[in-house]
């Protein structure tokens, strides 16, 4: 017998589907429910590697953590990684299967993946008491409905009730709720059980007349009004926001333990991937992290991070065009700290041979690390462990570039001191490992080195645990659902499906 299920859809992208899904998952697991997350198709450059070596969206890995289960490829069978305005790498069941244009994907390939997606969902529902699915974009994207496999397409095929989330902080939430339902076919509308208001500020009693009118207009109830909370956008799919506690864009910086703060500038390269690598830095009291795109913004930085990117050669060109490449080279020559991660590591090297990602052939790098990179067709997907700066460290690798290190010091090594990855020259470091800064001891040791090189009297907090902060944040999401949603009604949806007899709202989907 299959377990219960729910599809969390949204009126728009970034309405809060990912965090609401995580919150529902954490609430359920605290009630003793065995639950798993699912997103049929994800478009994101922020990805993760599972223990079996499969690449999935980081949002689904975060949701798996909310469920207190190990993430697997079943939870995100299709991942699209944009490589430009019109094409993406298609990752199927954790492995890249090729590049495809948006027209080619929506023109037939997507629909052929429906069987695979439904099989993954059914396998999860056969194992768990409940599966909480996340949609993508809006279910009312009428131009894409025919080939949809992530919103109403999967809801219809799997018989899932649908909860529509709207971000009231943007404005127009009532029109968005009504219009979303009214642009669906009668068959799709039968599955839309109701609404969840996200990011509300103020007195809920002032909102209630509108919710009553919305129910009168649509015949559908609102299952909760979630208040606005800073810093809950953990593991965002894309964009320039760092997730943990909103430390870059939203919240006040914690007081430093030492006398000084430490300023970190992250180069906002095109097609930036796994920008959440700097979350762990932003979690440290007294570390100020910001994204930059001008060379003058590097002047007062104690550390500059060149992050990962889906377009290494394109990012290198962008750095040169903006004068950031020269600024980075000067920093390295002056012994001022620079850290390159994955694509950023490759950019700092001597040259790149790329016949795979950009097909640009031989391209000169910045030449600040003695590294030569050759792009292989096979993608490296691993979960390595090792040591660095005297501390244990672990991470994950997602890259086509293969680095040949020709000098410098080993950066990451095994227990015997043999180099595993990356290199260091002076105060310039490079590594392919994402997530290494989440290792608390290593992060503190690294920041001590950065502070010494920068001449800052910064002291890392001795007790900051990134894993504990992440758990605390997931519990906050669970608390939001438990305290501000009708959890009894939500459980009835998950267990029994959408209510019968929901009215049709014209005009419905175009023919």
Query: Which entry of 120, 133, 342, 423 is annotated as an active-site residue?
Result: 342
Query: Which entry of 399, 400, 432, 434 is annotated as an active-site residue?
Result: 434
Written as six digits, the tokens of 435 are 């997530």
- Residue whose tokens read 């090297």: 349
434 is catalytic: yes
CA 453 to chain centre: 32
- Residue whose tokens read 């691993």: 382
Q: How far is CA 58 from CA 20, 72, 218, 275, 434, in A?
A: 15, 11, 35, 11, 12
DSSP classification of residue 105: I
- Residue whose tokens read 């002032």: 206
Q: What DSSP assignment string belongs to 233-287? A: -TT-SSSS---GGGTTTTSPPPPPSSSS-EEEEEE--TTEE-GGGGHHHHTSTTE
Buried-state track 292-327, b at ≥16 Cβ within 10 A, e below 16: beebebbeebbbbbbbbbbbbbbbbbbbeebebbeb
Q: Cβ atoms within 10 A of the Cβ of 248, count? A: 24
Q: For the chain, how many helices (H) and strands (E)? A: 16, 28
Element (H, E) at 43: strand 41-43
Give the residue ranges of DSSP H helices in 283-365. Answer: 312-321, 324-333, 343-347
Identify whether the C-beta of residue 409 lies closer than 8 Å to the C-beta of residue 427. Answer: no
Angle, alpha carbons 117-121-126 (nearest 5°): 145
Q: Which residues are catalytic?
A: 342, 434
């Amino acid at each position: 017998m299959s377990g219960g299920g729910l599809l969390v859809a949204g009126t728009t992208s970034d309405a809060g589907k990912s965090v609401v899904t995580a919150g529902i998952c954490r609430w359920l697991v605290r009630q003793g429910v065995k639950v798993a997350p699912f997103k049929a198709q994800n478009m994101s450059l922020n990805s993760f590697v599972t223990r079996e070596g499969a690449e999935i969206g980081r949002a689904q890995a975060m949701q798996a953590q909310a469920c207190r289960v190990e993430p697997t490829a079943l939870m995100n069978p299709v991942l699209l990684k944009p490589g430009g305005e019109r094409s993406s790498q298609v990752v199927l069941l954790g492995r890249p299967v090729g590049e495809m244009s948006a027209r080619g994907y929506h023109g037939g390939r997507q629909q052929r993946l429906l069987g695979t997606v439904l099989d993954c969902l059914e396998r999860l529902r056969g194992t768990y008491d409940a599966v909480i699915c996340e949609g993508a974009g809006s279910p009312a994207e009428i131009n894409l409905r025919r080939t949809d496999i992530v919103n109403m397409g999967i809801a219809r095929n799997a018989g899932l009730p649908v909860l529509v989330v709207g971000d009231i902080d943007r404005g127009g939430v009532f029109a968005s709720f009504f219009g979303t339902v009214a642009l669906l076919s009668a068959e799709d509308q039968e599955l839309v059980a109701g609404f969840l208001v996200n990011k509300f500020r103020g007195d809920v009693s002032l909102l209630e007349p509108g919710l009553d009118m919305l129910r009168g207009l649509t015949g559908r109830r609102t299952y909760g009004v979630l208040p606005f909370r800073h810093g809950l956008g953990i593991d965002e799919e894309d964009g320039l926001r760092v997730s943990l506690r909103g430390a870059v864009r939203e919240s006040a910086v914690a007081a430093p333990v030492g006398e000084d703060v430490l300023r970190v500038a992250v180069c906002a390269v095109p097609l930036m991937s796994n920008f959440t690598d700097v979350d762990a830095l932003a979690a440290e009291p007294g570390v100020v992290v910001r994204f930059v795109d001008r060379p003058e913004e590097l002047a007062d930085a104690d550390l500059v991070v060149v992050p990962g990117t889906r377009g290494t050669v394109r990012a290198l060109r962008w750095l040169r065009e903006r004068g950031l490449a020269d600024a980075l080279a000067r920093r390295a020559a002056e012994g001022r700290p620079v850290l390159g991660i994955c694509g950023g590591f490759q950019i700092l090297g001597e040259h790149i041979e790329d016949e795979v990602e950009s097909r640009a052939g031989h391209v000169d790098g910045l030449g600040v690390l003695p590294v030569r990179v050759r792009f292989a067709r096979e993608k490296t997907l691993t979960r390595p462990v090792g040591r660095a700066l005297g501390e244990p460290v672990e991470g994950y690798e997602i890259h086509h570039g293969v680095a040949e290190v020709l000098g410098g010091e080993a950066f990451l090594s095994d227990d015997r001191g043999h180099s595993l990855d990356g290199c260091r020259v002076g105060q310039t470091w490079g590594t392919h490992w994402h997530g290494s800064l989440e290792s608390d001891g290593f992060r503190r040791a690294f920041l001590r080195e950065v502070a010494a090189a920068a001449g800052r009297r910064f002291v890392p907090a001795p007790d900051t645990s990134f894993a504990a902060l992440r758990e605390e944040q997931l519990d906050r999401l669970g608390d939001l659902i438990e305290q501000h949603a009708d959890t009894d009604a939500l459980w009835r949806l998950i267990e029994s499906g959408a209510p019968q007899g929901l009215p049709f709202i014209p005009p419905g989907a175009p023919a």
